[in-house]
Structure 1
Amino acid sequence: MDKRAARSLSLITGRFISGLMMVLAVSACTSRSSWHLEQVTGHLPELNFSLTSDTGQAVTAETYDGHVLLMYFGFTHCEAECPVSMARLARITQLLGSDAQQVRVLFVTLDPERDTPQVLHRYVTQFDPVHAVGLTGSKEDIEALTKQYRAAYRPRSKISESRDIMHSDAIYIFDSRGQARLLATSADSDENLEQDLRRLLASADGIRQ
């Protein structure tokens, strides 16, 4: 990634985190939490989508009921953030051991024109063939989902198709009922992410604690 792209990504991520932290500030001032990651309970909507999985199946949020979900927005041609984040999530599921049976990593493409189900399948399975699921859909469906969760990204330039899509490295974490609960970024340690996931998994099937 060149310096200009790095600066752009830093600005996008910074604006995303700053905006969301302003939303969370009110609740943070009135309550204390033992969670390591940022709580977004009540500040982001429950999971809701209708997309296509990397196996070509039509899926909705209800398809993954009963699982704690880690949703990440990226694209398969990404050379920087996505491989690092996906490798990290695969490492986390390994650390969870048998508890990972109730976890799914949802990799939502920001590049649906190129990321077909077949392309997504090859991509996600190289990181985690058991827990990772690639999701794609129409451009409108993807845009609606990013807006729903305030995901910060800059689409590929119409002038230069080779220019990367810039996006944040946020990981949205939902409990087994599809409620948005936590937000993780690269600033959070793997240990803290693992601990909070174990707590979420242990709390009455992921129901709010």
Structure 2
Amino acid sequence: MPAAMALTPTEQAPARPLIHKVSGFLPDLKFTLQGPDDTLVTEDALAGKVVMMFFGYANCPDICPTTMGQLSMVMQKLGDDARNARILFVSVDPHRDTPEQLQAYVSMFDAHAMGLSGTEKQIANVARRYRVAYQIEKPQGDDPERYEVTHARGIYIFDQQGKARLLASDASSVGELAENVKALMRP
């Protein structure tokens, strides 16, 4: 039996795309969630903006701060066009993420980002709508605030009319994301 041979870089399988077109496969942008100061926020607050929506939680040790940093760099790369885009961070940890804490968290990355939380039911409804998986583990030990949360990692991108257009991997490059967001802004 011949020994396995490594593929050279030119022989390797082509990379899978990290940004997928989802027009017609995912529903339009629609939600009712809690913003700071007991404000109910709906998709109407983002009318006319390209929206990059991400699900996570403020205490996340790795995925969320990395993705928020990445989306912040996308906004910087958009330059003046950033006024036509918004980052929307939806918490899947309503027990620890108050709307005020969440807004403070996302504002550290981008001044115009929106951090929204809600009741367990509100969050579950939005997550189910976009097929987002997440799970909150039982608290560890005597501390009810000490528990793990797992969640999906995709970035949902909606056009200025709120139509679901793209689903991006958090492994997408800043340049790729910015290019795709900018393309959605063109008439």
Give TM-score scaled by structure 2 length. Answer: 0.84
Residues 53, 157 of structure 2: 8 Å contact kept? yes
AA in 2 matched with 1:169: R
Taking the aligned partners of 1:55 and 1:89, their CA distance within structure 2 comes to 25
Among 155, 162, 169, the residue aligned to 1:178: 162
Q: CA deviation at 1:57?
A: 2.2
- Aligned twin of 1:82: 64
Q: CA deviation at 1:107?
A: 0.5
Aligned-residue CA RMSD in angstroms? 1.6
Deviations 1:70-113 (A, max 9, x none): 10001011111000000110011000000000111000000112
Residues 36, 192 of structure 1: 8 Å contact kept? no
Taking the aligned partners of 1:56 and 1:128, their CA distance within structure 2 comes to 22
Secondary structure of the 1:127 match is: coil
Among 112, 116, 120, the residue aligned to 2:98: 116
Residues 36, 193 of structure 1: 8 Å contact kept? no
Among 50, 68, 71, the residue aligned to 2:32: 50
Give TM-score scaled by structure 1 length. Answer: 0.76
Gap regions ≥5 residues in structure 1: 1-34, 205-209
Residues 47, 179 of structure 1: 8 Å contact kept? yes
Secondary structure of the 2:166 match is: strand
Q: CA deviation at 1:197?
A: 0.8
Question: Which of the two has higher C-alpha Rg?
Answer: 2
Deviations 1:112-142 (A, max 9, x none): 121112111220111111x210001110010
Among 135, 148, 151, the residue aligned to 1:164: 148
Taking the aligned partners of 2:18 and 2:64, their CA distance within structure 1 comes to 23
Q: CA deviation at 1:56?
A: 3.9
% identical equivalent positions: 40
Residues 18, 171 of structure 2: 8 Å contact kept? no
Taking the aligned partners of 1:115 and 1:36, their CA distance within structure 2 comes to 29
2:152 is the alignment partner of 1:152: no
Q: CA deviation at 1:59?
A: 1.2
Instruction: Give the structure with the larger helix fraction.
Output: 1
Residues 115, 136 of structure 1: 8 Å contact kept? yes
- Aligned twin of 2:183: 199
Taking the aligned partners of 1:113 and 1:76, their CA distance within structure 2 comes to 11
Distance 1:200 1:79, change over 3 A: same
Taking the aligned partners of 1:170 and 1:54, their CA distance within structure 2 comes to 25
AA in 2 matched with 1:67: K
